[in-house]
Structure 1
Amino acid sequence: MSFPTAPFRGPLAAQLGHVVIRRSGDDALPVAPASDRTVWDPHSGSADRLGLDDIVARAVAERSTPWPHPRASDAARVHRDGDRTAWEDAAFERQRRLSRAAIAAATTLDDAWIDEVVDGIVLLCEQSSWCWPAHDDTRRVHGAVLATVTDPYVDLGAGETVAQLAWIDHLLGAQLDTRAPGVRDRIRYEARVRVFEPFQRRRDWHWIGLDGDVHNWNPWIHGNVIVAALRLLDAAGDAAERDRVIALAIEGLDRYVAVLPADGAIDEGYAYWWNGAARALEVLDILAHATDGAADATAVTSLRETVAFPHRSHLGGDWFVNHADGQAKPPADQPWHALHRAARRHGDTAAAAFAASHRDRGAPAATEREGLGRLLRGLTDPAWVTASPAPPPLPRDVWLASTEVFLARESAGSSDGLTLVAKGGHNGEHHNHNDVGSFLVAVDGVPVIVDAGRPTYTAATFGPDRYAIWTMQSAWHNVPVVRGTAQPEGTDAAARGAAVEIADHGSAFTVELAGAYPDAGLSTWRRRARLDRAAARVEVDDSWSFADGIPTGEDTRLHLLVAGDVTLESGGARVIPRDGARPVRVRWPSDIAAAVEVRDLDDPMLTEVWGERLTRLALPLASRTQLQVTVELDSPIEDHE
C-alpha cells in the first residue's frame, strides 16, 4: 500500500497554524512538580487531599508485596489460546502501582518512596516491550510469539508507558536526580528507542488513518506521544526533534479531527469516547498550555460538539446507550475531570453540569485507573476539586445524524418513565456489532430491552472470527431474522432513509432496513420506533414485503433481548428490570406464540452489567406483513391485533 507524502492539512492545521512550543522544563506540562509544596503538601497544598490520602494508603498497603510481573508465557498466550488478559492484567497493575508510588513520593518527598518509584521505572525500562502483545505485529513480521526488541511496535501500551514515564519525570525530576542519578537518562533512552524513533521512522502505523479509517487509537497514541515529547525531548539540541515529533503527531491528530462529524458523535459509542475524542480534547488542552494559549482549537465545531456526546448518551444513573463494544453500565470512575475541563474550555454548561453530577466531594477527585497523567490533572485541577455536584442535563430528544442514533425520553431533566433509543447506521462501524435498525428501551433510566455489549476481549474479538461471538450477531440484537438470514458485517449492510420527528406529544425514528439483509429477498422492511409521551408508551412498528411476493414463512422472526425477570403471558411479557426500576409490559398480538431463550452469562464484562442471565424473546412472523410491539409501565394486558 502506498501512503501520502504531502503533509495533511485539516481543521487543526487551519485553526492552529504553525505551532510554536513556548514552555519547557518544569513548565512543559500543566501540573506543578512535587517541589511546589503549595500544591503537593499533604496538609496545606491545593491538591485533592482525599485523593492523596486514599492513594498513599493503598501504596503503603502494597509496599511490602512483590511487584506484578507480566510473564513471557502469558504474552505468548495471545497466539496460543487467544487469552490477552493474563499479561495485560499484570502489566496494567504494575503501572498503576507505579502511579500510586509516584503520588506517595510527591506527597511525602520521602527517599524510600523515591526508591519505590525508581524500582518501578526500571522495571518498565527492562520490560521487553511496552506494546500490548495483542497489538504487536511481531508474529506477522518476524514469526515470533514474543516481542522483537529490535523492532518495537508503537501501540496504545507503548503510548501509555512513555507518557507515564514523562509525567513521573515531570513530577519528580529533581528528586530522581538527587536520589538516583542517571535514571532520567535511562527514561529518555528507552523513550527514544521504543517510541520516538519508530514513530518517526515508520509512517504506516494503521492508527494514523492514512487509508481514511481513523479510530480512537489515533488521538490516544498521538496525545501520549505529544506529552512525552514535550517533557523528554528536552536536552540541548533536542528542540528540533521535539518540534518534528509534535508536528507529526498534530498532523496525525488532525486526521482524527477531520473525520469527527459535525455533531460530535462517536460510532464506537460512549465507552470509547473517553479514549478517543476525550483524548483529543485533553492533548489539545496541553498544547494550549505549552504554546501559552496560541494553539487554540475551540473554534473547531466537531470538537465543541463532541464535548456534549457523553450527556447525550446518558440514560440515567450509571446507565448509557451502548451500541458497539461499550458496556451499558461502564465503570463509574471515569476521568470526569477531563470532561469538566473540556466543557469549561468550550463553554458547554450542560456538559460541565453532567461532569459535576459525578463529583462526589466525599470521594477522591481522580483515580489511577485511567493513567498517571489523568490522575495528576484531576488531583490538581482546583475547579474540579472544589466542584459541587449538579443534576445531569438529560436532554429530552437527541438526534445524531452522523451515526443515525436517536434518543427520546418522556421529560427533559428526568430519567423517570420510558426512554427510547433507536439506530440506523451500517455494519462497518468501528467496534461494530451487526445491529442496523436495533432499538433499546429504558425504564427509569435502566435498560430493559437491551444491547448485551461485549464480552472480555480475546484474540478472536478483532480477528476473522469476530462475528462468531454471539454478542456481535444481529440475532442477539432487537432486529428481525429474515428468511433465516441474519445481518452480515460490512458497510454495504446499511440502513436507508433514516429520519426523525420530534414533537412535544411524541418523537419518532423511521428507517428502511432492507439493505441490512441483502440476501433475504426483501422489497422493504420499514421500521418506525416512537415514544408516545401522551400515552407513556413506546411503539415499534415493522412492515415488510418480499420481492418475490411469497408470504412470510416460519423462518422469519423478531428477536427482543431483555434484561430482568421475564414472565411470559398471552400477548406479551411482564419484565421486572434491574436496579429497582419499575416493571414494564411488552406487548404483541395475542396470536403470536413467543419463544423464550435464557442466555446464562459467565463473562465478567457481561455479568457485572446484567447479572447472571439475559432473555431472548423470539416472535414468529409467519403469514404477516406487519407487527407492532409496545412497551408500557406495568398495566393489565390488552389484546393487540
Structure 2
Amino acid sequence: MADLLLPPAQSLPVLDVALFDAPTIRGLTERAADDRARPWPTLLASGYARYFRDGDRDAYEQLLWERTDRLTRTAVLAAATRDPAWIDAAADGVLLFCEQSTWCWPAHDDSHARHGSVLPTVTSPYLDLGAGEVAMQLAWIDHLLGPLFDTAMPGLRARIRYEVDRRVLTPFETRRDWHWLAEPLSNWSPWIHGNVLVAALRLVDDTARRDRLVRLIADGLDRYAASLPPDGAIDEGYSYWWNGACRLLEAYDLLAYASNGALGDATAWPALRETVAFPHRLHLGGNWYVNHADGWARPPLSQPWHALHRAARLFGDREAEAHAAAHRNPSAPVLDESQGLGRLLTALTDPAWQAAAHPPTASPAPTPGLTPTPIPADADADADADADAPNAPDLVEFPQGVSTNSTRSRQTPTPALTSNPNPRDLGESAFGTDTSSTRSRLTPTPAAAPAPPPPDLAEQPLAADTNPTRSRQSSTPTLTSNPNPRDLGESAFGTDTSSTRSRLTPTPAAAPAPSTPDLAEQPLGANTNPTRSQRPPAPTPSLRDLGENALGTDTNPTRSQQSAQPTAAPAPATPDLAEQPLGADANPTRSQQSAQPTAAPAPATPDLAEQPLGANANPTRSRESAVGRGVGVDVWFPSTQVLVRRGGRVALAVKGGHNGENHNHNDVGSVIVALGGVPVVVDPGRPTYTRETFGADRYSIWTMRSSWHNTPTILGLEQLDGREYAAADVRVGDGGISLELSHAYGMGGSWRRTASLDHDVVLVRDEWELGGGGTSLIHYVLAGSVSVGDGFAEVVALESAGRLILSWEPAVTCAVTVRELDDPMLGDVWGERLTRLDIDVTGLGPSGSLELTVKEQR
C-alpha cells in the first residue's frame, strides 16, 4: 500500500484560496469580528464533572464546540488573508487544544468506569468522536497553514504531531477493544475512521506505520460499507445519514484522492449507490423530512449538501444531485464552521458545488428520464440480479421538485431554528464486543471505467510542500476534493487485521457519469441560509450529537446479522406481492439484504389487497407522479420497514421494524401525516442529550416511549424496547401497509394496523382481538393549532400549510394531552407545544376496530 499512497505533503487536496467564495468568507469574518477581542472559551473541571454529578453534558460540550468553531473560522481566515494577527490567533487555538486535558466528550470517556475518576485520565486517552474530530481539525490546519506556522510559530507543527499521535493514532493502532469496532456497527465507525484517515495521511511520515494505519482504516471503512443494507436505508433516519453513510462516502473520496484513484472506490458498493438517494426519498417538503428514532423532522439548515452533491455526481444520480443543488444559495455561504474544517474546506474548493445554484425565479420542472415502470413478473429476481450491477436497478427516487416550494418557508406560525445541530450531535451508538473482521475486504477493488477528470482548479498551494500539479489527475475519481475530516467514515473491525479482503490494491477509475442537464429547481428561500449568525443563546445541538447511541446497558444490537444477504424470492407475475409473511421472530431491519429500496405499488383503490411481505421482498416501482408540492413516488425500504406514500397534498409515512434499532424509540407501527410537505401527525424526535439518554433510564424519557408516538397503548401496556419487540406479518400492497403490532408489546392476542393513502385521504384502521382487562388508547401526536370535538380534531398546520381534519366514530371519546416544549431541541422544530389525542377504545370491547380518517379541510 505504501507504493499507492501519495506522500504526506501531497495526500490531502490542494487548497486554492482563490476559490474561497465571498459570502462564506464574509460570514466567517462577521462571526469572528469580536473573536480577537475576547478570550477563548475556557473548559473547566467542574463543567466536565457535571456529566457524572448531575447528568448534564451540554454545558461543557457547548463551550468545547464554541472553541472548535472559533478555531475553524480563524484558520480559514488566516489562510484567506495571511494576516499575521489571524495566523497568531490560529496558533493560539491550536495550542489550546494541544494543552487541553482531553479531546473526548464527557459522556464517552471511560475514565470513570476504569479508574473511578470524574476527570479524564491523561495517561490513557479515549478515542471517541470528539478526539477524532480534533485530530482531523489539527491535520487540516497543518495542511492549510503549515508553512505560515513554520515562519510565525516554529515548533507548533511538531506539537500537533505529538498530540495527535499520543491521543488518537497510537490508541487507534494499539487498542483494539473500542466498542465502535464491534458489530453491530453504527455511524461511529465511518466517522472516527474517516477522521483518523486525515490524520494518518497528513501527519505520519513513517512509511511502514502509515501503511499499517491506512490498512486498518480501509478495513474499517469496508466493513461499514458491507454492513449497509442494499436499499441504502439508515435505521437512525435522515438526520444520522450525514454522519454515517455520508462520512463513509467522504472517507472513500479522500482515500481515492490520496491514492490517485487506486483505493476508495465507492462505486464498488451497490448499497452506496442506493444510500445517495436516501435523503431525497425521505423528503416531505421545504426543510421537512420523514423522521424516526433520534432524528429531527426539520433538521438544521447547515448540512453538508456539497458532500451529497459530490457523491451524486460520482454515481450519476441526477435526482440526488438536484436535491442537494436546491440547497445551494449563491448569496449564502457554501457551508458554515459548525460542520467542521474538513467539510468547510471541501465545500470552499469544489467548483461544481459553487456553480450548483439555480436562478431564484426558476420553477420546479419534471426531472427528465423518470417514467412509470411496470412491475415485471420476475421483479424480485431482476432486482437481485441487478444488485451487483454497476449502474444498479431502477432507482426509486422522486423528482427533485417535490415540495421545495419556498413561498411557505419559515412563516410566522413556524418555530425558528434556534439550535443548530451539527456533526458533533449525530454520531453515537452502542455496540457489542464482537470484533470479527470477516468482512474486511482487503482484496483488489473491482475495475471500473475512468471517470472524466474535473476541470483544473489552478490551485495555488498554501503549503510549500504541496504539489499542485497533481491536484486533479485524470486517474482520480470524481470525488477528489478534500472530504471533511469529521466526515471521513470508518467502520468497525476487530483484532483480526488480515488484509486478505481489503480494497487496498489499485482500482481503475469509475465509469464516466452521465452528464446532468441543468436543473432549474426553486431555491429553498432565505430560510436556507446555513450560517449560524442569528442563533440565539439556546444550547446548540451539533452534528457532534448525532452519533450517540446508548453506551449503557439498555442498548440492543441492531446490525448483528449484517453479513447475511438472502437472495430475493421470485415475484409473482402480477403486481401483488406474494412473499412469505414476516414472523414474530423475523429480523425486520437489515435481514433483507437483497432488496433494493423501490416504490410501493400505487393503489387503484384504498383497499389493501396485499399479500404478506417476505424478508426478501422487493416491491418494484409502479408509479411516479408529476413534480409538485407533496407529489412524488412511493418508496418502500425493506430493511427498516419504512413506507412513504405521496399524494397531491398529503403524504403518509409508516414505520414497522423493531425496537432495538440504533437511537431507538419505541415506535413500531407509528404513522406520520404531512400536509403540503409539513408534518401534522408527527414523530416528536428527541430532546437534548443527557446522561439518561443512553443509560438504563432512556425509556423514562417521554419522547422515547410509544405513548408519545402515533401508536396504541394496549390494555394499559406500552411497547417494550428490544429487537424482539417488532412488527410481524408485514404486508405492503395496493393501498399502503398492514402490520401486526402485538409482538411489540410482548403480549398475546392481536392488534393489527392498516394505513393507506388514496386521493389525499389517509385511512388508519386498528383491529384487535384481546384477552384480559385494561384501558386501550390510540395516540396521535399533533403539531400546530388543535381544536377537538366529538369524533374529530382539526389542526392548523405549521408554516400556514393548511388544515387537516382527523375524524373517527363520534361515540368514541377522546382526551387531549398538551405537552409544553421547553427543550430547544424540540421547541425549535415544533414551537411551544405538541398536542396528543388519546382516543379511548376500551368501550369497544376486547374485540373491535376503529377507523381514523385524515384529510385536508379546504
Tell me the TM-score normalised to structure 1 length: 0.90
User: What does 1:4-43 align with in structure 2 at a 5 Å threshold?
Assistant: 21-32=4-15, 39-40=16-17
Alignment correspondent of 1:444: 676
Name the CA distance, whole Å, in 1 between partners of 2:235 and 2:3: 33
After superposition, the C-alpha distances for 1:75-117 in whole angstroms (9 at most, x for unaligned) are: 0000000000111000101011011111111111121111111
Alignment correspondent of 2:828: 608
Alignment correspondent of 1:187: 160
Name the CA distance, whole Å, in 2 between partners of 1:559 and 1:170: 54
SS of the equivalent of 2:787 reads: strand
Alignment correspondent of 2:789: 569
Q: What amino acid sits opposite 2:740 in the alignment?
A: E
Alignment correspondent of 1:83: 56
After superposition, the C-alpha distances for 1:270-297 in whole angstroms (9 at most, x for unaligned) are: 1111111110000000011011011212
Alignment correspondent of 1:200: 173
Alignment correspondent of 2:723: 491
For 1:324, which of 293, 298, 302 is the aligned residue?
Answer: 293
Q: What amino acid sits opposite 1:513 in the alignment?
A: L
The answer to whether the Cα contact below 8 Å between 1:74 and 1:87 also exists between their aligned partners in 2 is yes
For 2:192, which of 204, 221, 228 is the aligned residue?
Answer: 221
After superposition, the C-alpha distances for 1:454-481 in whole angstroms (9 at most, x for unaligned) are: 0000010000000000000001111110
Name the CA distance, whole Å, in 2 between partners of 1:66 and 1:57: 17
User: What does 1:531-542 align with in structure 2 at a 5 Å threshold?
Assistant: 531-533=757-759, 536-542=760-766
Q: Displacement of 1:55 after TM fit?
A: 1.0
Count of matched residue positions in the alignment of Structure 1 and Structure 2: 586
Name the CA distance, whole Å, in 1 between partners of 2:170 and 2:42: 27
Q: Displacement of 1:613 after TM fit?
A: 0.6
For 1:459, which of 691, 695, 717 is the aligned residue?
Answer: 691
User: What does 1:166-565 align with in structure 2 at a 5 Å threshold?
Assistant: 166-209=139-182, 212-234=183-205, 238-295=206-263, 296-389=265-358, 391=364, 392-394=400-402, 395-411=632-648, 417-501=649-733, 507-519=735-747, 521-522=748-749, 524-533=750-759, 536-546=760-770, 548=771, 555-565=775-785
SS of the equivalent of 1:595 reads: strand
After superposition, the C-alpha distances for 1:3-40 in whole angstroms (9 at most, x for unaligned) are: xxxxxxxxxxxxxxx685432234211241xxxxxx31
Q: What amino acid sits opposite 2:248 in the alignment?
A: A
Name the CA distance, whole Å, in 2 between partners of 1:31 and 1:472: 45
Alignment correspondent of 2:73: 100
RMSD, matched Cα = 1.3
Name the CA distance, whole Å, in 2 between partners of 1:255 and 1:214: 9
The answer to whether the Cα contact below 8 Å between 2:237 and 2:291 also exists between their aligned partners in 1 is yes
Q: Displacement of 1:324 after TM fit?
A: 0.2
Gaps of 5+ in 1: 1-17, 33-38, 412-416, 636-641
Name the CA distance, whole Å, in 1 between partners of 2:298 and 2:342: 25
Name the CA distance, whole Å, in 2 between partners of 1:265 and 1:396: 17
SS of the equivalent of 1:263 reads: coil
The answer to whether the Cα contact below 8 Å between 1:316 and 1:445 also exists between their aligned partners in 2 is yes
The answer to whether the Cα contact below 8 Å between 1:262 and 1:305 also exists between their aligned partners in 2 is yes
> Runs ≥4 in structure 1, deviation > 6 angstroms?
none
Q: What amino acid sits opposite 2:850 in the alignment?
A: L
SS of the equivalent of 2:647 reads: strand
Alignment correspondent of 2:417: none
After superposition, the C-alpha distances for 1:384-443 in whole angstroms (9 at most, x for unaligned) are: 0111238535442111110000101114xxxxx100000100000000000001000000
The answer to whether the Cα contact below 8 Å between 1:311 and 1:393 also exists between their aligned partners in 2 is no
Q: Displacement of 1:570 after TM fit?
A: 1.7
Q: Displacement of 1:255 after TM fit?
A: 2.2
Q: How has the CA–CA distance of structure 1 residues 56 and 201 changed in structure 2, closer, same or farther, with 3 Å as cutoff?
A: same
The answer to whether the Cα contact below 8 Å between 2:2 and 2:207 also exists between their aligned partners in 1 is no
SS of the equivalent of 2:730 reads: strand
Name the CA distance, whole Å, in 1 between partners of 2:326 and 2:55: 39
The answer to whether the Cα contact below 8 Å between 1:444 and 1:581 also exists between their aligned partners in 2 is yes
Q: What amino acid sits opposite 2:146 in the alignment?
A: G
For 2:856, which of 625, 633, 641 is the aligned residue?
Answer: 633
The answer to whether the Cα contact below 8 Å between 1:426 and 1:495 also exists between their aligned partners in 2 is yes
For 2:137, which of 164, 169, 174 is the aligned residue?
Answer: 164
Q: Displacement of 1:554 after TM fit?
A: 5.4
Name the CA distance, whole Å, in 2 between partners of 1:345 and 1:393: 21
Name the CA distance, whole Å, in 2 between partners of 1:64 and 1:127: 22
Q: What amino acid sits opposite 1:467 in the alignment?
A: Y
Q: What amino acid sits opposite 1:28 in the alignment?
A: S
The answer to whether the Cα contact below 8 Å between 2:8 and 2:204 also exists between their aligned partners in 1 is no
The answer to whether the Cα contact below 8 Å between 2:197 and 2:251 also exists between their aligned partners in 1 is yes
SS of the equivalent of 1:355 reads: helix
Name the CA distance, whole Å, in 1 between partners of 2:347 and 2:157: 25
Q: What amino acid sits opposite 1:364 in the alignment?
A: P
Name the CA distance, whole Å, in 2 between partners of 1:265 and 1:69: 40
The answer to whether the Cα contact below 8 Å between 2:20 and 2:80 also exists between their aligned partners in 1 is no
The answer to whether the Cα contact below 8 Å between 2:2 and 2:208 also exists between their aligned partners in 1 is no
SS of the equivalent of 1:63 reads: helix
The answer to whether the Cα contact below 8 Å between 1:21 and 1:243 also exists between their aligned partners in 2 is no
SS of the equivalent of 2:165 reads: helix
Higher relative contact order (CA 8 A, sep 6+): 2
After superposition, the C-alpha distances for 1:204-263 in whole angstroms (9 at most, x for unaligned) are: 111112xx21111110000000011000113xxx11111111111121222211211001
The answer to whether the Cα contact below 8 Å between 1:56 and 1:103 also exists between their aligned partners in 2 is no
Q: What amino acid sits opposite 2:210 in the alignment?
A: R
Tell me the TM-score normalised to structure 2 length: 0.67
After superposition, the C-alpha distances for 1:581-617 in whole angstroms (9 at most, x for unaligned) are: 1001001111111100111110010100111110110
Name the CA distance, whole Å, in 1 between partners of 2:794 and 2:769: 30
Name the CA distance, whole Å, in 2 between partners of 1:254 and 1:472: 32
Name the CA distance, whole Å, in 1 between partners of 2:785 and 2:64: 39
The answer to whether the Cα contact below 8 Å between 2:681 and 2:780 also exists between their aligned partners in 1 is yes
The answer to whether the Cα contact below 8 Å between 1:138 and 1:145 also exists between their aligned partners in 2 is yes
Q: Displacement of 1:381 after TM fit?
A: 0.5
2:97 is the counterpart of 1:124: yes
After superposition, the C-alpha distances for 1:20-66 in whole angstroms (9 at most, x for unaligned) are: 5432234211241xxxxxx31xxxx2222211122123223322111
